[in-house]
Amino acid sequence: MGNVGDGGRVMEWQAVKLKDCSEIFPGYAFDSASFTENENDIPLVKGENLHQGYIDWNAAKKWPIHDWSKLERFQLKSNDIVLAMDRPWIEAGLKWSWMKPGYPKALLVQRVARIRANKDVDQAFLRYIIGSGMFEGYVKPIVTGVNVPHISGGQIGNFMFLRPPLPVQRKIAAVISAYDDLIENNNRRIAILEKMAEELYREWFVRLRFPGHEKTKLHKGVPEGWEQNRIGDILSFKYGFTESAIEDRQYPKFLRVMDINKASYIKWSEVPNCKIDENEKEKYLLKKSDLIIARMASPGKIAIIERDIDAVFASYLIKMTLNTNNILPYYAFYTLTNDYYQGMFSNADTSATRGNINGQIISRFQIIIPPFELQQLFEKQILSIRNALNNFVIRNETLTISRDLLLFRLITGKLSVEDLDIQFPPCMKEEEVSA
């Protein structure tokens, strides 16, 4: 038994192994030849679409839906925890998630573990154990294998933690769930703001229903007074820095392709650092309003630097700096991220085996530039949306830090919730009654 003291009171928490209080079940070896892209088929949870606390369903392979009933053992249910067994930890963090409300029904693939708690452990509490820094710290040093770093089911099961009484587990889960709910609500607001900004760009510059369009004549589909330039005439290009990412915060942030291909904004809290000499740093320093484009891995993916932050960028990226006064950064950003340019970047891929474009190719494309006054009006409206969006991003960064610190204190017994009157979230109401 492990004794955990709190406020003069002693509670008995038991040190247990994960395998003694949960089922750790690996997935099925689905034949890749039978994968489909039919939206009506069943998505598969593989290591490649499993990320840090979420599953990328857009990148999921599918399996024929008519096999669903035959594969009951590998079906994922609501609240199931999933953990990658191959490359379980990458620079972005632990590759794990859970089947959240609203997720589609899915099947578990080989080399991904499904974790379900037994009757002595609350599933939500177990989720927070797996998502804790303690579990990640346990996994990182035991990953083995040169070609494909991996962990086994036995290694996962040998992780030890303190198990409080079931009512305390549920209170801990409820407290942390409140933080997660706030973060998720902010994520929904961010998504709405992203769509608002994209729709504003499309309305003005794709559908050409910009302010004053009624009085503007078109010539070959282009409004009068709008210019056309080569991208190379308005942007200068700088290739990134070759270095490995580290976690030492005394060094600048190190922006990589994976940091810009998730959303229209950069989650700087998830960006690692890199060691760089001060003389070199000046060459690769990112500044507010710089545009970043991926030249490999996800060629053509664009990001914009929206904060004053100490950061440099990796070699698979190209920094694009505006070198003319007749174009504004957000107009350039949304223009280069629309489907037309993204399609051109994809078709301009110079590599047969791997996505690859370069500054010379990008510079040849033409870009239409509206009158400066119209860009200014667009910039003003976009800035109000993007500022609100980034405020929510920053709030989530703060909430995540607070949540993780609180989680550590709760699951180690340093902070007691035993005497707190906890309001359980709706997702835990049913468990509360059955408990």
Average the pLDDT over 173-193 and give the result.
Answer: 96
- Is residue 221 one of the residues assigned to a domain? no
Of the candidates 166, 96, 88, the one whose C-alpha atom is nearest the C-alpha of residue 125 is 166
2 pLDDT more than 60: no
Q: Within this chain, do residues 325 and 280 fall inside the same structural domain, yes or no?
A: yes
pLDDT computed for residue 357 by the predictor: 86
Average the pLDDT over 124-151 and give the result.
Answer: 93
pLDDT above 70 covers a percentage of the chain that reads 93
Query: What one-character-per-residue DSSP string does 52-70 give?
Result: BS-B-GGG--EE-GGGGGG
What are the strands of the beta sheet with 112-117, ordered from one edge? 22-26, 112-117, 81-84, 96-98
Single-letter code of the amino acid located at 46: K
Q: Beta partners for 114?
A: 25, 82
Q: Within this chain, do residues 59 and 178 fall inside the same structural domain, yes or no?
A: no
Q: Domain with 385 in it: what CATH number?
A: 1.10.287
Q: By the 8 A CB rule, do 311 and 285 touch?
A: yes
Q: Within this chain, do residues 158 and 178 fall inside the same structural domain, yes or no?
A: no
Helices (H) and strands (E) in the chain, counts: 12, 25
Query: What one-character-per-residue DSSP string does 113-166 give?
Result: EEEEE-TTS-HHHHHHHHTSHHHHHHHHHH-B-SSS-B--HHHHHT-EEEE--H
8 pLDDT more than 50: no
Q: Domain with 60 in it: what CATH number?
A: 3.90.220.20
Q: Within this chain, do residues 187 and 256 fall inside the same structural domain, yes or no?
A: no
156 pLDDT more than 70: yes
430 pLDDT more than 90: no
Q: Within this chain, do residues 201 and 281 fall inside the same structural domain, yes or no?
A: no
- Rounded distance between C-alpha atoms, residue 247 and residue 122, angstroms: 33
If you average pLDDT over every residue of the chain, what do you get? Answer: 91
When pLDDT is cut at 50, 70 and 90, the band that residue 432 belongs to is very low
354 pLDDT more than 60: no
- Is residue 72 one of the residues assigned to a domain? yes
Which residues, in sequence order, are CB contacts of 66 under 8 Å at separation 6+?
A: none
- Is residue 90 one of the residues assigned to a domain? yes
335 pLDDT more than 50: yes
Buried-state track 356-366, b at ≥16 Cβ within 10 A, e below 16: bbebebbbeee
Q: How many CB atoms lie within 10 A of CB 86?
A: 17
**Stated pTM of the model:** 0.86
Q: Within this chain, do residues 27 and 39 fall inside the same structural domain, yes or no?
A: yes
Q: Within this chain, do residues 134 and 177 fall inside the same structural domain, yes or no?
A: no
pLDDT computed for residue 355 by the predictor: 61
Of the candidates 162, 223, 166, 146, the one whose C-alpha atom is nearest the C-alpha of residue 435 is 166
Q: Within this chain, do residues 383 and 267 fall inside the same structural domain, yes or no?
A: no
198 pLDDT more than 70: yes
| Tokens matching residue 36 | 């489909």
Helix (H, G, I), strand (E, B) or coil at 345: helix
What confidence tens digit (pLDDT) does each residue in 79-123 have?
A: 999 999 999 988 778 999 999 989 999 999 999 999 999 999 999
What confidence tens digit (pLDDT) does each residue in 380-413 have?
A: 999 999 999 999 999 999 999 999 999 999 999 9
Which residues, in sequence order, are CB contacts of 93 under 8 Å at separation 6+?
A: 52, 136, 270
pLDDT computed for residue 429 by the predictor: 55
Question: How many domains does the chain contain in total?
Answer: 3
Q: Which of 336, 369, 402 is the last residue of a domain?
A: 369
Q: Within this chain, do residues 352 and 394 fall inside the same structural domain, yes or no?
A: no
When pLDDT is cut at 50, 70 and 90, the band that residue 9 belongs to is very low
Q: Within this chain, do residues 45 and 84 fall inside the same structural domain, yes or no?
A: yes
Q: Which of 369, 404, 427 is the last residue of a domain?
A: 369
- Compare 250 and 434 and report the one with higher pLDDT: 250
pLDDT above 90 covers a percentage of the chain that reads 77
The domain containing residue 342 runs over which residues? 227-369
Query: What one-character-per-residue DSSP string does 394-409 give?
Result: HHHHHHHHHHHHHHHH
Of the candidates 362, 377, 341, the one whose C-alpha atom is nearest the C-alpha of residue 234 is 362
Residue 11 has φ and ψ, to the nearest 5°, of -115, 145
| 105 DSSP 8-state letter | P
53 pLDDT more than 50: yes
Q: Which of 316, 339, 369 is the last residue of a domain?
A: 369
What confidence tens digit (pLDDT) does each residue in 275-285 have?
A: 999 889 999 99
Q: By the 8 A CB rule, do 76 and 141 touch?
A: no
